[in-house]
Structure 1
Amino acid sequence: MTETDHKKILAERLSARFGRRAVLKGMGAGIVAATAGGSFPSVARAQQSGHLKIASIKVIDTLDPHFTGFLSAIQIINNIHNGLLKIVYDGENVTFEPDLAETWDLEDDKTHVFKLREGVKFHDGTPCDAEAVKFSLLRVKEGEPKSPHAWKLALLDEIEIVDPLTLKLHFSQPYAFLPVALNGSTGRAGTIVSPAAVEKYGTDYGRNPVGTGPFKFVSWRENDAIELEANTEYFEPDMPKLEKVTFVLMNEASTALAALMSGQIDGMTDCPMQLVDQVEAFPKANLYGEIEGNYTFLGMNCKKGPFTDMNLRKAVAWALDRETLVKQAYFGRAQQAYTPISPPMTDFFDPDIATSGRGQWFDLEKAKEFRAMAEEQGEIEVTYMMAERGPVGTRVAQTIAPMLAKIGIKVNLELIEPATWVKRRNEGDFDLYDFEWVADLDPDETIYPEFRSDGAWNFCGWVNTEFDELCQQAQVILDSEGRKELYYKAEDLLMDEAPIGIMAHMPIYKVFSDKVQGFQYIPADLVNLHTVSLA
């Protein structure tokens, strides 16, 4: 098989995966661009001006890309760092294109060659070369403490430095997920950090990030703001345009919207659904958003408490009235989910899934049958921890509680602060919680890291080694139909044993003042400010 054949197979495998208004349909074009070779034009330096103030609504755990589990953090990280690859959206298609890599080639189906841009430096003045890239990849793959993104590089056998600007990545098997893993946005495994800064700050790197991106980190004032300033030596022409960016840390989205309408801030990284009507009615704001690769779910603790009983979990899963949830909790803007794989993944999503017999849906009689088989009969009392976080706040919890009462489960709703909610979820200190996994670009990241038996994000504590093996097999198959068959089997196990009750696929919204120009929407929950300016 020739080199061109390898590129073609990978490009075709990825190009069909997403439809219009979603990520990855243009992957074929991205591979061509990545492997075309040639030099980038000489950089034209931008003249920076303007101070953008944007409300960051959700919890930010760390600005270390190799350890964050939050897209709210990536929204900031992606303005400080770059990846080997990046996601580009033209309004119709999204491609993976070179970022720190100047070219990306394939010697065979297991050997990827990356030629880096010349002269790129980290914000601390140290060079971004092959050694730095190798450092970042190994930090993810085998560093201590262990990165939650290490699974993305599990098949990476060797990193060969050919010359100061060229690396060969040798994999044990063909790896279909690699382009997603190596983008510096949602992938995170391919985000490149300054080795000198990691050595200097150690575990505090997440509070002192040093990348190559269009903006430099300045400060993080707890419960106040994260400040960035322009990187005047940024390698992309005419970027950035802003002199300064302040991410104002605001817990209340309604307060943020009021600040936007009064001109105190210029945008919001997230706009909850309950505020969308107000934004649409406000003439001096622009709303961005559509249904993206995501799913929402009710999580149940499989390690302790009443939901160690699978029959009780199944009863809950079948008791959720998704139609009511979409209307009441998601303001009619979401779409009922049957399994985690979402509609934008056109090469994997089944448009007829509602009549396929696969997945979970509302069936109260079936829920009662499973409830009758549960170990504990009579009324069961559980705690549902909730917080004013996410696209709809506590509306999901409030909508679900009366549904579970119909199968003899008394739900005590516990309202806690978002940061406490995250801590307790991560520690497994809950009976029930609801959450959303967003910005998924591939079925692998849709289910595998979240529910792998020993996964860092498997907060429910569900264990099924057959599920693990099916996902691992799918990672090394380039054929879409073969991958789909394996992921369907894995999904079926997940839906049948019900560590979660699947709920909806939802749109993700962002809003900016009409003074903000040049924002390029990417349907992966990103807030890239590279091209943004203020009128």
Structure 2
Amino acid sequence: MPHLKDITEHSSTRRSFFKLAGSVSAATAFAASIAACGSGSKGSSDAKADGAKAGEINKDGTITAGIAYDISTTFAPSQASGAGPLAANIHIFEGLYGLDPASRKRYNALATADPEKIDDTTYHVTLREGAKFHNGDPVKASDVVYTYGKFTDKSSLFAQFLYFIDSVNAVDDSTVEFKFNQPFSLFADRISLMQIMPESAEKDFEAFGAHPIGSGPYKFVSATKGDHIEFARFDEYNGPRPALAKAMNWSILSDAAARVTAIQSKRVQAVESVPYDNIAVLENTSGLSVESVQSFGLLFMMFNCEKEPFNKVEVRQALFYALDMDKVIKTALLGNAEPATSFLQKSHPDYVEASTVYTHDADKAKKLLKDAGVEDLTLTVRSTDHDWVVSCVQLIQESLKEAGIKATIEPTPSSSLYSDYVDTGNFDVLIAPGDPSVFGNDVDLLLSWWYRGDTWPTNRFRWSGTEQYKQLQEYMNAATTSSDPKAEWKKAFDLLSDNVPLYPLFHRKLPTAWDSETLVDFKPLPTTGISMLGVGTTK
């Protein structure tokens, strides 16, 4: 399915594009979705010391960047699912709370303080005094209520993450009341995904999606598909992260070679999604810093759990033990990933090692297959057709052969992979990338993407009828109502590692390059995209 393709698969070459105006597709389907250990000549902490100094910031300067993803969806926050618009929107819009794009830590944005707890299922949030939208209108509680309605509309993919909210009401112009249908301990972090839109957007919502109006530090100026996104400083912004440049110009550079050339020549000051095999070249370019930041973004293996013999847990485990992930990571990704030891990457604040950690053990794989009564296993592995994924799958095919498993690999464009094969049940094993952490970093959100609702458990890996699935839901629900949820998350991680209906093979590092001689306080991100919040330029 193409709607979330460019976020969730982080492709550097092939991708499907959508028209921005007149035919914007609402993200109504869910596709496999899109990070701090580093490798690079200079980490982000070195950039300021070795390059530009804070006192040299040119407040009338222009920041330039190259992004890897085109304008594939509307900019309207409740509908935006493309990586390009999502990256732009963190500069154009504000939520009540924000998650720092680099650290993933929460901060007050339009809200003046943490939510005020009225009772277990009622919270009040007070808005920042004097906050304005780019058209000059004040930000009011009624705008928050309107935005909530758009985010929970059936056409919004974000509705699935706001399931715990019963109603949102304006107490007065500056106070918003949230009523829950259950206690929910992660409210402040979760509500950060809801970027506030003015009520006036409803007059022509399609036009708003093409020319967005927010309350963030930068105003949208223009965008041309396949070419650029242009921003200007919002001089009336009074929030915590003002624009430090007069303008920003982002070049859309979908071609990986074009990004490398642009940053080498310093035509742009930063680029995301540096190809792994170009990291060394850029490290040796004068004035550039390169860093690969550990992400949640994963490559997962998923089974058709209704189909023999993949309905047997021993068979699913056997395939995981058969894989030499160290070899895959070293060869295909040049070391830019960590093998999965849990659902989360090790750098995540809620990480805990799972009860089962898969390492390369062909003999154990063979024994598990024998115990399951399976001989001469032959299967088809379908995958996305991105170059780096195909390289991984070819190495995976070799590992399976060593364990006596004959696998045919079928790389397929995502536009047809999900609709023609996965959603129809016409597959054995799927290997694909995913990363919903672009929407938020709390454990419930990351788990919910794949393990709540019908889209994945029922219609894709077809495991929702099992007792193990029901137990998983109990663990997840208990965690969201607990004041200390880590014990319940641990149970969920263990259950998933033991049953592996869909489970990560590795978590990737995301390489970013930037001009540390001209950008001040720039930090590479653990998700797809570029952030210039709090970043200045000497140019």
- TM-score tier after normalising by the smaller chain length: 0.7 to 0.9
Partner of 1:115: 126
Quote the offset at 1:415 in angstroms.
5.8
Aligned residue among 385, 395, 401 for 2:397: 401
Does 2:225 match 1:222?
A: yes
Offset, 1:94:
6.3
Cα deviation digits, residues 163-204 of structure 1 (max 9, x gap): 101112232443222122122xxxx2x2212332244125x7
* Structure-to-structure mapping, 1:51-200, within 5 angstroms: 52-57=64-69, 60-69=72-81, 73-88=85-100, 95-104=105-114, 105-141=116-152, 143-145=153-155, 147-183=156-192, 188=193, 190-200=194-204
CA distance in 2, matches of 1:154, 1:299: 26
Q: 1:278 to 1:305 in 2, by over 3 A?
A: farther
Q: State the SS of the aligned residue for 1:123.
A: coil
Aligned length: 472
Partner of 2:519: 517
Question: TM-score, normalised to structure 1's length?
Answer: 0.76
Give the counterpart letter for 2:151 in structure 1.
V
Q: For residues 417-464 of structure 1, what are the alpha-carbon distances to aligned partners after superposition, in whole Å with 9 as ceiling and x for unaligned?
A: x76668779857865232142646332223222222425798545422
2:362 paired with 1:345: no
* CA spacing shift, 1:237–1:98, aligned 2, 3 Å: closer
- 1:38 corresponds to: none
Q: Is residue 2:298 matched to residue 1:330?
A: no
Which residue pairs with 1:449 in the alignment?
A: 449
Secondary structure in structure 1 of the residue aligned to 2:157: coil
Contact 1:175 1:478 in 2 (8 A): no
- Give the Cα–Cα distance (whole angstroms) in 1 for the partners of residues 518 and 419 of structure 2: 35
Distance of 1:510 and 1:303 partners within structure 2: 41
**Structure 1 match to 2:55:** none
The correspondence for 2:408, drawn from 385, 407, 411, is: 411
Alignment map for 1:442-481 (pairs within 5 Å):
442-455=442-455, 460-463=461-464, 464-479=469-484
For 1:66, the aligned partner's letter is: S
Is the counterpart of residue 434 in structure 1 residue 432 in structure 2?
yes
Separation of aligned partners in 2, 1:425 and 1:222: 30
Q: Which amino acid aligns with 1:139?
A: K
Q: CA RMSD in A?
A: 3.6
The Cα offsets for residues 232-256 of structure 1, whole Å up to 9 and x where unpaired, read as 3323378323344333333332331
2:32 equivalent in structure 1:
none
The answer to whether the Cα contact below 8 Å between 1:300 and 1:433 also exists between their aligned partners in 2 is no
TM-score of the two chains, using structure 2 as the length reference: 0.76
Q: 2:43 matched to which residue of 1?
A: none
Unaligned runs of 5+ in 2: 1-35, 39-57
- The letter of the residue matching 1:395 is S
Alpha-carbon contact 2:97-2:107 (below 8 Å) kept? yes
Shift of the 53–341 alpha-carbon distance from structure 1 to 2, 3 Å rule, reads: closer
Equivalent in the alignment of 2:386 = 388
Q: Deviations over 1:217-238 (max 9, x none)?
A: 3444333333333333323378
* Match of residue 12 from structure 1: none
Q: Which amino acid aligns with 1:195?
A: E
Task: Report the counterpart of residue 6 of structure 1 in structure 2.
Answer: none
Identify if the C-alpha distance between structure 1 residues 521 and 205 changes in structure 2 by more than 3 Å, giving closer, same or farther: same
1:248–1:426 Cα change, 3 Å? farther
Residues 56 and 247 of structure 1 are in contact (CA less than 8 Å); yes or no, is this contact kept in structure 2? no
1:49 corresponds in structure 2 to 61
Deviation (angstroms), 1:103: 2.7
AA in 2 matched with 1:401: Q
CA distance in 1, matches of 2:389, 2:105: 32
- Whether the 8 Å CA contact 1:295–1:438 is kept in 2: the answer is no
Aligned sequence identity (%): 21
Question: Deviation of residue 471 (structure 1)?
Answer: 0.8
Please state whether the residue corresponding to 1:121 is helix, strand or coil. coil
Worse-matched range after superposition: 403-412 or 66-75: 66-75
Q: 1:280 & 1:301 partners in 2: Cα distance?
A: 43
Counterpart amino acid of 2:382? Y
- 1:282 Cα deviation from its structure 2 partner: 1.7
CA 1:205–1:320 in 2, change beyond 3 Å: closer, same or farther?
Answer: farther
Partner of 1:296: 299
CA, structure 1 residues 192+305, in 2 after alignment: closer, same or farther (shift >3 Å)? farther
Structure 2 counterparts to residues 199-348 of structure 1, below 5 A: 199-202=203-206, 206-236=209-239, 239-302=242-305, 311-346=314-349, 348=350
User: Deviations along 1:399-424, whole A, 9 cap, x unmatched?
Assistant: 212122333232224264x7666877
Instruction: Give the AA of the match of 2:513.
Output: V
2:486 pairs, out of 447, 464, 484, with 484
Instruction: Deviation per CA, 1:124-178: give whole Å up to 9, x if none.
Output: 444321001111123223x132x33223322223323221011122324432221
How far, CA to CA, are the matches of 2:301 and 2:376 in structure 1? 22
> Compared with structure 1, are the counterparts of its residues 178 and 523 closer, same or farther at alpha carbon in structure 2 (3 Å cutoff)?
farther
- Counterpart CA distance in 2 for 1:64 and 1:165 is 23
Q: Is the 8 A contact 1:82 1:191 kept in 2?
A: yes
SS where residue 102 of structure 1 aligns? coil
CA deviation after TM superposition for structure 1 residue 489, in Å? 2.2
Matches of 1:276 and 1:167, distance apart in 2: 47
Range that drifts further, 228-237 or 265-274: 228-237
- Which piece of structure 1 moves more, 258-267 or 232-241? 232-241
3-state DSSP of counterpart to 1:182: helix
Q: Does the CA contact (< 8 Å) of 2:463 and 2:501 recur in 1?
A: yes
Taking a change above 3 Å as real, the CA distance of residues 357 and 499 of structure 1, as seen in their structure-2 partners, is closer
- In the superposition, relative to structure 1, how do residues 151 and 501 fare at CA in structure 2: closer, same or farther (>3 Å)? closer
Shift of 1:533: 3.5
Secondary structure of 2:300's partner? strand
Indicate yes or no: 2:528 matched with 1:496: no
Separation (CA, whole Å) in 2 of partners of 1:111 and 1:288:
43
Unaligned runs of 5+ in 1: 1-19, 23-45
